[in-house]
Structure 1
Amino acid sequence: MQQFLSGSNPDKLKSNFVWEIVSESDSTFLVGTNIGIQRFNFHTKKFSDLNGMSNQNQKLLATTISRILIDNFSKIWIGTYNYGGIFIIEQKNFRPANLIHLQNEYGNPQSLICGKIRCLYKDKFGNIWIGTEDGLNKFPNQKKFVRFKNMPHKKNGLSGNVVSSILEADDNILYVGYGGNGFDKIDLKNNSLKHFGYSPVSGLGLSDADVICMFKDKKNKIWVGTGSGGLNKFDPVNNRFRSFRHDGKNPYSINSEWVQQILETSDGKLLVGTNDGIQIFDQETEKFYNYQPVKMNNSNKLPSIFSVNSLFEDRERNIWIGTWLNGLYRYDPRKDTLINYLPDSKQNSISGNKISCIYQDAKGIIWIGTFNNGLDKFNKKSNEFKHYKTSNGLSNDVVFGILEDEKGNLWVSTLKGLIKFDPEKEKFRIYEKEDGLVENQFNWHAYYKNYKNEMYFGGKNGFVRFNPDSITVDDKKFPVVLTNFKVFDKEAALPKSLPMTKGIILESNQNFFSIDFTALDLMPTHKHIFAYRLEGIDPSWVQSVFRTTAFYTDIKHGIYKFSVKAMNSDGIWSPVTSIVIQINPSWWNTWWFRVLLMIFVLALLYIGYKIRMNQLLKIERIRFNIASDLHDEIGSNLSSISVDSQSLILGNTLNDTERELATDISKTAKETVDSMRDIIWFINPKNDLNEDIIFKMKQTAAKLLLGIEWNLSVSEKVRMDLFNLEIRRNIFLLYKEALTNVVKHSYAKKCQIRIDEDSANFYLSVEDDGIGFDDKKIKPSTGFRSMENRAKNIKAELGVSSKPNEGTLVKLVFIK
């Protein structure tokens, strides 16, 4: 370890009180002490002062140096501790070329907050951050806009606040006019300023301090229009003035003391626009003549009195006249015609009658700025106007000035910021005070573009100068962070800070929440467009300009992903910031509850199934027992009656009457036995199968239709086993009654039986080729009424159709 102490030799350290050490190169570093700054060389092990510094600058730096920083342009930033501010050394080949001193300036909020420097820091973008005793300053890496303001306590500050006119002469002399305070003549080479105001002495100053407009003619004379002092002519060589005032006794004097615009045409005419019209000023005779360019009697004429806001001559030598309340005039000298454009109900007319400025771009397109109606684009071929207003992207509909840069972009000054407009893409970029402007509110006539393509725009608090090529797109990626998470408008307690939290778990009763977010680029909120989305809830990105909070209410349980991003004024989107939000379900929506509920429901269904099956088995046993009992008891008794009656008939003990009665008893007993067998067959559960039922019907047909050719066709779709016992029994008995009628009454030779079924109905038809009958005249028999009743019992439709000698059709339709 080697120690370096102060000494009397020039190559020694000046003071042992060292505040700062900063590496300058591979062989040198800078040392800040309590009495100045030195450079140390590693090879020679010697200290030295900064070469090339003047004695005056050396004395300024002979103070306590608290901080040293070298920026991206090799400038040395030196912070002082004893309220001396900041010194910036611009150097070439390690030799100082220029010294800039930054201090706190009274009345200038853009100056250094405090002269006592605590720290210096260079961020990744090259911006310099200055920590002082009283606050923080940011010095941007690139100053897009150079600001000029009225600072009375600063040498060479502007003489006025409200800039009303700007123009630059060929010899790097800048003229700045002020509302109510004359104008400044600024030498841009040596940064000197000379002010000219009102003077009661003719020739020594303006006739009125309220400067409205300024114009430089081809002879390099400066013409100044005032608010109440007429027209002034300024000679920049001898700084003398010549004023031209209104004289009611002189018909050749200027017609108004309020001069709004001045224009020298390509043919040398000096046009002066006032609050009462336009005049031509003859510089040789110094006489004013009324400007009425149209010579043809049948053409439009300019009004005798009107207020002129803007004068412009395009490359085709058309004279454009913008007025207050009288719209826009265009004089075509080739055709000697004057056209007046006024707003009307037509969509493509000019948007307003108050014209503030007129401009022709490199493509020959005429642009018109209006007061309160935005920007208009004029199509010469169709004589139509296209409008651009706040609804299209303008920051304000009051347009004051229009200039074009080398890339074809229009720069438009308004009552609310400066706008860069791309006519091809029709996109607007709004620059405001936060972007480096001196003020958001600009002014009439205060705009100018010099031969270096630098632009000037003035407003109520000074003016700015910039080169449009230096106004680049800010493509730096800036982060978006989540700043707050609230549940029912109360800040949620999280185990970590929100930016460090990857996921949030909420209970089911916490499904009303909000998320705050912001962009970390130090620009105000309104300079961003935010877009956020809660996946699963928002179908697409939700855009927000001023609001930096996303609200969500009554969100269903589940896992969601909240994402947010931001776009700066140049259309650059930040990376997406995301957080997972999980809302737990209520206990009745949990998986285990649903599983238990399903098990419970299945158990109930199983118990119900078992109960139902037991009931069906009991019914089956009852049916079987009833069938057995009917067969064994009643069936055997009826059979005994039939046998006993037959024995009586065969005996010789009965007379004729008794024999006839015994015969009836035997017959009734046999029929009852047959009916009882059918009933027993249907009651018996062994016969519930569909095949058994169909077989029974075939068997019945074979038994009843003896001697008749019959056929039974059954569709494969038929499922009679799906009908309950009552329906099956009624269908069968109706079927049996129909066959009985065929046998007893039809004298048929053939009988066709059809059984069919579809998704809605069951069909049964019995058709014979017997003698038939007139179905409109015959009275219903007992058998027919029996069939009708059975059809009604099962809510079926029964149809009987017949004609004499054409057979009979009985059709049953049962709606399932």
Structure 2
Amino acid sequence: MVNKKFYIFLIILKSLLLEASDTPYIFDIINKEQGLSSNAVSSIQQDSRGFLWLGTKSGLNYYDGYEFKVFHNDPFNDNSLAHDLVQTLYIDKDDTVWAGTYNGISRLDIATEKFTNYVYNSEDENSISNPIVTGLDRDNFGNLWIATLGGLNRLNLETGKIVRYLNNPEDSTSLMNNVVRSVMVDSKNRVWIGNLSGLDLYNPTTDSFIHYPYIEGIENGLPSPNVMKIIERGEDILYIGTWGGGVTKFNIKTDTYTNFPTLDNRIYTLNFDNNGFLWAGSWGGGISIIDVDSGNIKQLSSTKNLAGGISSDTIYSLFQDNTGIFWIGTNGGGLNKLNYQKQQLNFLTYNSEEKEGLSSGKIDVIFKGKNDNLWLSIYNEGLNIYNPKTKKVKHYRQDNKDPNSISSNIIGDIYEDSIGRIWLATNDGLNIYNPDKDNFEKFTDSFIKEQGISDTYTKIAEDKENNLWIGTYFNGLLKMDLDLKNIKHYNNLSDNLTREIVVRENGDIWIGTNRGLNKYNPETNDFTHYFLDKTDIKGINNNNIRSIIEDSNKHLWIGTLGGGVMRYNDSDNTFTHFTTNNGLSSNYVMSMAETNDNQIWIGTMNGVSIINILTYEIDTITKEDGLVDMEMSEGILVDKNKVYLGSFDTLSLFEKSEKIINKYSPLVYIKSVKLGNKLVPGLNPYTDKTKMEVDYADARYITFNFVGLSYLHPLKTEYSYKLEGFDKKWSKRDPRNFALYTNLSPGRYRLLVKAVNNDNVWSYKEAQLEIVIKPPFWKTWWAYLLYIIIILVFIYLLFGFKAGMDRRKRLLELEIINKKNIDLSIRDPLTGIYNRRYLKQRFDIEIEACIVYGTPISTLMLDIDNFKIFNDTHGHLAGDKCLISVVKAVQKVLNRPDDSFVRYGGEEFCILLPRTDLEGAKIIAENIRKSVEETGIVTVSIGVYTKIPVSTDVSNKLIKCADEALYLAKKRGKNRFEIGG
């Protein structure tokens, strides 16, 4: 009878379970690598300001999306956490955090970061009844209810008095069992207790309990005596998680129970999401997501071994925050965050244990064949054909013993011609697929042999006249009719290594090569070549062409290996460039394809970029969005609303659908302020401090750290700030969540900070902090009074001594002249910029600042190429104008107030870039080089040197290293920059 019931249960359960693919859930995993103190997360709560609090097996964690602050037990500090193993959390409306630990409960005052502890004391009846706390909740009468493994406790928060409730075998109205696993106060202020004998309801009138015990064998009752979790959903409806009995719905009014079967009935925790689904976390069987109306269940487990799945099947805690993000605490797998904007992108991945799975290697070509089969060229591993019905991969490899195998394991292209033949362009000839025999025939032709054309083929396309155009690796192009008879050879391309062939709607054929772009006009039988010309900013910007497509608006797009993407403008035969400066994820483009919503998807060496062909806005897809590998290969395919992307060992699939917008504006707070390296005490998001005073001596370096709470994609949150009284406008959007100000003058300032999330939703309220920098003693009112007295005495003495007055007057005039000369001495009179004397002063200050903060400083030495020849040819007046033009060109690039640009001597200049790493310095150097080159007058060579300075570093040392790099740039051809070692 038992076996029969068990099988019936399995049949019902299987019929209720939803397929995993129906509604994919993608999770981000946050663990110790990101700073979490333990991968066992027992409790999750959120305070009124939006910060998350996590109880773990190794301390209490405070999380803002960027970093964790961890509170640990200190045995020598009574105001520290009572125990590092935090089992449960409760947060009051006033943001008081209550932590239930393995040594009682701890009350945290967040503003002061001090704990008050209530611990078990066997000799004190006013202490809690057991050290191990399993549950916390608060009623409307100011009582905190405490579940422990040794009874229930009620703490009066006003008096601090604790009342214990224990099982008394002689009292039928006492607690049923002392092992209490959960306590919950419902919307009617009723206190429900889950223990190892069932469910108890506290009766405040009699100070006793009403029992709902587990009774074995009855249909309408608890399925297990072990009640682990109780939650309320609607009036008089409870959902109960039990150990050994799964989930049950308890209708209090009708006293009826509805049980929900789960794959693992050891339910540890429960929570409803905003869609009304009940999430049941089990102790080893993952999560059951229950539609309580239909009874359907979706199972989540970690056994699928897919990126984006939950990290552990042992579920400790479940929580949904105020922005709708669902969080899962696991025992051993860290914290899991449900990212509702992510997709499961790794459609196929290499697995060494799968014989009928994807081969290992780079996916160079993706082609859709008949029956929706996907043909995949795997570099040096031949051909994979994926059958979506069987979800199996068939492998085709070169076999010397089989003349009908593919002729090479390196396949450059897969193409289906207009009469249905499928061609493979390989490193050892052209192959034609025979669908009847499921094998390949190698195409041979006497003309090709006579011409000595190599068998290494790269691309295939078909023109309007049904001619096949075939690209080779060494010998240019072949043109062949569909009868495979008339073959013509073209070897007059810009380079004979053909990378791409595209036939445009107007009949023109565009060919991308390893060295230049080519356009073939079939009417005139002529080729037009396009090469990089550094003097033509509207020409192509890179010769290495990797991808060409024509979009639905008849515009041609060209992807390059190093120059980003170009759009060809037919009207004036020019090119518009899109690079990393415009938001492209990388200038190294591997593949491109257009979708049906006016977007071009671009696979790069650093993720995927998407260009809107109407607005030219650029979006990116990174690992934050679910990409497994950021380095894309040449393989790309658009199939209706699907985009397939190839990389090493992975075929990613992005199914385009209406994007779920992150509509929640970030909550912005000023987290902390540092004066130099010293943290300002008592200033955090909980103190509500809106004003701070700073001594003038401490105002040399002020760092403001802020945070915009946006947990969905925290690293994509950007900030803009403004220091009123100093900044004239808001700073540009930047993902860095800090601002540094140096040498602020005495006075009143107000810092304003705002944030914008990944979907361009700005914070509705700015964080504000007023800063008062107190003047030094020599600028106080009494100091000014003293100055007035001194001046009056001085005037009196002047009037008293006529001769002395005249002498002092002359000295004063000389002093004024001297001050003007000093100002002139630090500025170059020709260009108006600072000179070498000013550089020495500024350099020492910036080196000291970088030493304090451990940030890099970059030095650029710049010299005008062939300036002496220019001077000798055009005269000194033209030379002066040239110097001024160069200065203006450089100033266009330098837009940060902290950057220093000085004339070092003659035609040599020095640029100081504080807090700039090597990558930033390289970008600025290249932009300066281009800016000067665009003047059309002269070019410049630049030496770049970047270092995080130490106390022994001096300005001359850094300038010398940059100067050596400048010499190297001159030596290697000028009009370039080099990096100093």
Whether the aligned pair in 2 keeps the contact of 1:320 and 1:331 (CA below 8 Å) is: yes
CA distance in 1, matches of 2:649, 2:664: 30
TM-score (norm 2): 0.53
Distance 1:18 1:194, change over 3 A: farther
Deviates more, 1:132-141 or 1:534-543: 534-543
Distance 2:671 2:420 in 1: 60
Q: Residue 514 of structure 1 is aligned with which of 678, 690, 703?
A: 703
2:94 is aligned to none
Give, as a single letter, the amino acid of the residue that structure 2 aligns with 1:5: Y
Is contact 1:247–1:253 with CA below 8 Å preserved after alignment? no
Equivalence map 1:16-31=2 (5 Å): 16-22=225-231, 30-31=239-240
- For residue 379 of structure 1, what is the aligned residue in structure 2? 569
- For structure 1, the 5+ residue unaligned runs are 51-57, 293-300, 613-816
1:610-625 → structure 2 map (5 Å cutoff): none
Residue 191 of structure 1: how far off its partner (Å) = 4.1
| Cα pair 1:532 1:541 within 8 Å, conserved | yes
Measure how far apart 1:564 and its partner are.
Answer: 2.3
Alignment of 1:579-598 (within 5 A): 579-591=769-781, 594=784
Q: Separation in 2 of the partners of 1:506 and 1:76?
A: 52
Q: What residue in structure 2 maps to residue 137 of structure 1?
A: 336
2:470 matched residue in structure 1:
272
Tell me the equivalent position of 2:456: 258
Counterpart residue type for residue 462 of structure 2: E
Identity %: 24
Asked whether 1:33 is paired with 2:242, we answer yes
Change in CA separation of 1:495 and 1:143 when aligned onto 2, cut-off 3 Å = closer
- Aligned position for 1:789: none
Name the CA distance, whole Å, in 2 between partners of 1:6 and 1:284: 84
Q: Which amino acid aligns with 1:139?
A: L
Name the SS of the counterpart of 1:61 in structure 2.
Answer: coil
SS for the counterpart of 2:381 is coil
Aligned partners of 1:478 and 1:521 also within 8 Å: yes
1:178 and 2:368 aligned:
no
Paired with 2:294 and 2:598, the residues of 1 have a C-alpha distance of 41
Written as runs of structure 1 = structure 2, the 5 A alignment for 1:642-661 is none
Query: The residue matched to 1:78 in structure 2 has which SS?
Result: strand
Q: 1:157: how far off? A: 5.8
- Residue 333 to residue 504, structure 1, CA distance change in 2 (3 Å): same
Contact 2:466 2:482 in 1 (8 A): no
**What do the CA deviations read for 1:517-561 (whole angstroms, capped 9, x no partner)?**
344335788745432222112222233746543222232222211
Does residue 1:187 correspond to 2:387, yes or no?
yes
> More relative contact order in 1 or in 2 (CA 8 Å, sep 6+)?
2
Who is 1:760 aligned against?
none
In structure 2, C-alpha distance between the alignment counterparts of 1:167 and 1:467, rounded to whole Å: 17
Secondary structure of the structure 2 residue equivalent to 1:391: helix
SS of 1:171's partner is helix
CA–CA distance in 2 between the matches of 1:607 and 1:253? 107
Confirm whether residue 123 of structure 1 aligns to residue 123 of structure 2. Answer: no
- Counting only pairs closer than 5 Å after superposition, residues 597-612 of structure 1 correspond to structure 2 as none
- Partners in 2 of 1:208 and 1:316 — Cα distance? 35
Distance 1:281 1:28 in 2: 76
Distance change in 2, residues 1:200/1:124 (3 Å): farther
Offset of residue 150 of structure 1: 2.1
- Taking structure 1 as the reference length, the TM-score comes to 0.63
Q: Does 1:14 align with 2:209?
A: no
Task: Tell me what 2:538 maps to.
Answer: 348
Alpha-carbon contact 1:400-1:413 (below 8 Å) kept = yes
Measured after TM superposition, the shift of residue 62 of structure 1 is 3.5
Relative to structure 1, the CA distance from residue 563 to residue 499 in structure 2 (aligned partners, 3 Å threshold; closer, same or farther) is: farther
How far did residue 49 of structure 1 move?
A: 4.4
> Does the C-alpha gap of structure 1 residues 496 and 363 become closer, same or farther in structure 2, counting only changes over 3 Å?
closer
Contact 1:230 1:243 survives alignment (8 Å): no
Aligned counterpart, 1:231: 430
Q: 1:430 to 1:249 in 2, by over 3 A?
A: closer
2:765 maps to 1:556: no
Aligned equivalents of 1:48, 1:153: Cα separation in 2: 46
Q: 1:556 to 1:247 in 2, by over 3 A?
A: same
1:393-792 matches, within 5 Å, as 393-444=583-634, 446-450=635-639, 452-471=640-659, 474-494=662-682, 500-512=688-700, 513-522=702-711, 527-543=716-732, 545=734, 547-574=736-763, 575-591=765-781, 594=784
Q: Could you give the per-residue CA deviations for residues 676-730 of structure 1, whole angstroms, max 9, x where no partner exists?
A: xxxxxxxxxxxxxxxxxxxxxxxxxxxxxxxxxxxxxxxxxxxxxxxxxxxxxxx
Which residue, out of 268, 276, 285, partners 1:66?
268
Counterpart of 2:547 in structure 1: which amino acid? Answer: C
Q: Distance in 1 between matches of 2:237 and 2:396?
A: 51
C-alpha distance in 2, partners of 1:597/1:252? Answer: 101
Deviation at residue 447 of structure 1 after TM alignment: 1.1
When residues 280 and 74 of structure 1 are mapped into structure 2, their CA distance, relative to the original with a 3 A threshold, is farther
Structure 2 letter corresponding to 1:150: T
* Counterpart position of 1:616: none
Aligned pairs (5 A) from 1:46-195: 46-50=256-260, 61-82=263-284, 84-88=285-289, 94-96=294-296, 99-103=298-302, 110-134=308-332, 135-144=334-343, 146-152=345-351, 158-169=358-369, 171-189=371-389, 191-195=391-395
- Match of residue 214 from structure 1: 414
Q: What does the per-residue CA deviation read over 1:300-350, in whole Å, with 9 as the maximum and x for residues that have no partner? A: x7349811111112222322211111x222223344443222233433322
Question: Does the Cα contact within 8 Å between 1:479 and 1:520 map onto a contact in 2?
Answer: yes
Q: 1:76: Cα distance to partner?
A: 4.5
Asked if the contact 1:216–1:222 (Cα under 8 Å) also holds between the matched residues in 2, the reply is yes
Tell me, in whole angstroms, the C-alpha distance in 2 between the residues paired with 1:399 and 1:283.
32
Change (3 A) 1:581 1:88: same
Q: What is the rounded CA distance, in whole Å, between the counterparts of 2:715 and 2:683 in structure 1?
A: 32
Q: Say if 1:481 and 1:455 are closer, same or farther in 2 by CA, change over 3 A.
A: same
State the shift of 1:358 in Å.
1.0
Closer, same or farther: CA 324–13 of 1 in aligned 2, 3 Å: same
CA positional deviation for 1:356? 0.8
Does the 8 Å contact 2:327/2:337 carry over to 1? yes
Contact 1:252 1:289 in 2 (8 A): no
Give the secondary structure class of the aligned counterpart of 2:342: coil
Kindly provide the amino acid, as one letter, of the partner of residue 275 in structure 1.
Answer: Y
Aligned to 1:470, the other structure's residue is in SS state coil
Deviations 1:737-767, CA, capped at 9 Å, x for gaps: xxxxxxxxxxxxxxxxxxxxxxxxxxxxxxx
Shift, 1:438, TM fit: 2.3
Q: Distance in 2 between matches of 1:203 and 1:139?
A: 52
Larger radius of gyration between Structure 1 and Structure 2: 1
Q: CA deviation at 1:148?
A: 2.7
The secondary structure found in structure 1 opposite 2:371 is coil
Helix, strand or coil: the match of 1:482?
strand
Distance in 1 between residues matched to 2:643 and 2:239, nearest whole Å: 40
Cα deviation digits, residues 242-273 of structure 1 (max 9, x gap): 04277999728994443322223444333332
Kindly state the Cα deviation for residue 479 of structure 1 after the two structures are TM-superposed: 2.9
Residues in 2 aligned to 1:190 and 1:72: alpha-carbon distance in whole angstroms: 36
1:733 is matched with which residue? none
Shift in alpha-carbon separation, 1:72–1:239, aligned structure 2, 3 A? farther
Q: Counterpart of 2:214 in 1: which secondary structure?
A: coil
Decide whether the 8 Å contact of 1:203 with 1:241 is kept in 2.
no
Name the SS for the 2:449 alignment partner.
coil
Q: Which amino acid aligns with 1:460?
A: F
Count how many residue pairs are aligned between Structure 1 and Structure 2.
585
- Which structure features the higher share of helix residues? 1
Per-residue CA distance 1:272-291 (angstroms, 9 max, x = gap): 32213333466656x69344
Residues 217, 15 of structure 1: CA spacing in aligned structure 2 closer, same or farther, 3 A cutoff? Answer: farther
Question: Take 2:713 and 2:224, find their aligned partners in 1: how far apart are those partners?
Answer: 45
Cα separation, partners in 2 of 1:499 and 1:447, compared to 1, 3 Å:
farther
